[in-house]
Every structure is written in structure tokens, then in C-alpha cells.
Chains A and B, each alone.
Chain A
């Protein structure tokens, strides 16, 4: 059936692991936005949540790197990081192998993806789940876009992946929720960690909220790298959600640069009930 929920959020490890080092008011505003997103997700009464993440070498390496991958297991584990460092305890996260297989089969009609029957979650999925499904009681379907090791799939392929996810969700009886999680501009895990290009972020989020496909597909990785850091390659995750909900407006509930979290922290949802926006094709 049609997607019951769609949104985007940040996943930076510092959001939990370095929470005590942030300005308390900024941290609290972000946490409140996460809580609002959690409530919206819960109200949609989903049977499963697809998390489109930018994986960080927890599962795939340059010896065998898929551009797009989806998990196909009854359970997963995470985080791979030291729990004390991340602030999230190691746990088992439920999946749904049967549902994954049906979704993957449908996605493959339009997009070329890999599947994985084993998957270890890193902060890229664990931080969102820490806020959105804190009891780890909702089956998760992990999906991954290579945003780390070039060559990367071009942006228009991420768009096709999003369209394929929508068709897959439409094809199953389960109520599917979808989130994309990544950074916008940021230079994570480098000596320049904490750099944030707020103007660049706000322009992208404006385009994202209007589902401006032409504008979002016009970004070139080489220029994004110079303007917005290697972390900006993760806009693919936000664009996948746009493609999966094409024509629906996005609402940015929260955006604020929080340097100790190394990213402009973002919470957004798609208004699935709103009238369709005019196509930008």
C-alpha cells in the first residue's frame, strides 16, 4: 500500500555520543524535533521502516562495494562502534526477511541493487533508531547508498532507487514507513569536522521541501565536495525520499548548525496528504 510515512533526519554520532558537549538549548531543540518525528512515525502505525542510510564501511568495503544495497534478514545488530563512545548500547534490531525479499524483488524491476542477509548497523542507522524506535520493536529494512568510496552512483540513479522503493512499498500489503538519513554539508571525521556551510544547506533544503527534482539533480559531486565537504555526498539519501514521494512537499521541522555534532542537524517529514506540487521536469 502507499507509503504511510516519509521523512529525513541527521545521524551524526555526536548527536548522542557528544550530547553533553553541545549547547544545551540547541541539543534540546533537536531532541524535541526528533521526538516530534517519532510521534508522527508512530501515529502512522507502520508495519516496517525502511531506513535509507549512507553506510560508513560497517558492511561493505572497496573490494566489493555496491552502489545500492538492501538488507534481507530477520534481525540485525548494532552499533559496531564502541557503545560508550556512541552512547548507544549494542542490541539486536528486528528485521523481516520475507518483507525484505518481496520489496527487493520489486525494486529490482527498476533499479540494480545488491542484497545482504547479514548487516551490522553503524551510527548511520543506530542514531535515528535511538530516537525514532527507542524500544527497537519495529522491523527495520536497512538500505544503503555508497556515499563514501568513489566512484559513486550519480544522483539520478539515487532518484530511480527512490522511485523503485515507492513502487515496492505500493506492491506489498504492509504499511511501510521510509526515512532517509544523512548529512547535508559537513566534513565529518576529518580535521575540519565542525565546518558547516549553512547557506548551502538552506538552499538544498528549500529545494528538497519543494521536491524540486531538476534543482536537486543539478548538483555535481566535484563542486559539492568543494562547497560542502565529502559529507554532502549523502544528499543522495534525502533525494531518495523525495523520489519516493515525488510531487509531495517536504516540511523542514528543524535545521540548525551544531558544530560539536559536526553537521547542520535536520529533521524533515513529507506531507503525504498535501496536494501534489507541479512537476519540475
Chain B
């Protein structure tokens, strides 16, 4: 799944094929039905839940011109719907929230300005 995104993110010809037919573009990648759905919809929240690295996912969201706050919210919604990240580096710690972190660490300057 991440390999597909890696190839897609850096290859404009691949991006054109994906834009033409998302399912066809997935051919050749060993993906579960859940992963295929997440990649074609695209379901940003599910992809994050499944363990896609944020840098790869961010570039993928940029390809779809998903606005930044919307991108962050889709990941949060994904965690709410599907649960914690299943595997990978983000499975180690959970989602805290910027405001909660700022309050815990006594930093007030971050609360303004959102995320």
C-alpha cells in the first residue's frame, strides 16, 4: 500500500493513469480489498489507521488538493471510526491533540492559530 503511494507521489505519468482509472492503476500491487478501497476513494482516515506514513499520506492528500485542516480532520475522523493506528511508527503513541498537549506542557502560545 505504501509502495503504491510512494510510486504515485513521485511519478507524474503514474498520476495521470491514476486520474484516468484509479482501480486500473492499482494493478500489480498486492493489496487487500480494504486497502484498495482506501486508495481509490481515497479514504485518508482509513489509510492513516492502516499505518501509512504521514509524509507519504500528506503528499497523496496534496495530490488530491485536500485542504490542510480537512486533511488533519480526516485523519482524526479515521481514528475515531476505525480505532488506533494498527501498525507502523504511529502505533506507538496515540493521538493527543494540539490544545491538550499545549495545556499539559504549559505552553499557551500554540493554542492560538489552531493546527
Contact = CB atoms under 8 A, between A and B. Distances in A.
B83 interface: no
B32 interface: no
Residues of B contacting A: mostly = helix
Residues of A contacting B: mostly = loop
Interface residues of B, number: 39
Interface stretch (A41-49, A96-104, A240-248, A252-260): A252-260
A99 B95 CA distance: 45
Interface in B74-108: 75-76, 79, 89-90, 92-93, 95-98, 101-102, 105, 107
A86 B62 CA distance: 8
B15 to A, nearest CB: 9
Contacts of B68: 14, 17-18, 21
B20 to A, nearest CB: 17
Interface string B9-51: 1100000000000000000000000000000000000001000
B72 A193 contact: yes
A189 B89 contact: no
B13 to A, nearest CB: 13
A157 interface: no
B113 A192 contact: no
Interface in A165-196: 188-196
Contacts of B97: 192
Interface in A45-94: 56-59, 61-63, 80-82, 84-86
Contacts of A260: 113-115
A56 B52 CA distance: 13
A259 to B, nearest CB: 5
A274 interface: no
B3 A194 contact: no
A195 B98 contact: yes
A226 B104 CA distance: 14
Contact of B65 (A84, A189, A190, A199): A84
Contacts of B72: 191, 193-194
Nearest to B64: A82
Contacts of B105: 197-199
Given A189-B55, A191-B48, A193-B72, A23 B113 contact: yes
Contacts of A84: 65
Contacts of A188: 54-55, 58
Interface of B: 2-3, 6, 9-10, 48, 53-59, 62-63, 65, 68, 72, 75-76, 79, 89-90, 92-93, 95-98, 101-102, 105, 107, 109-110, 112-115
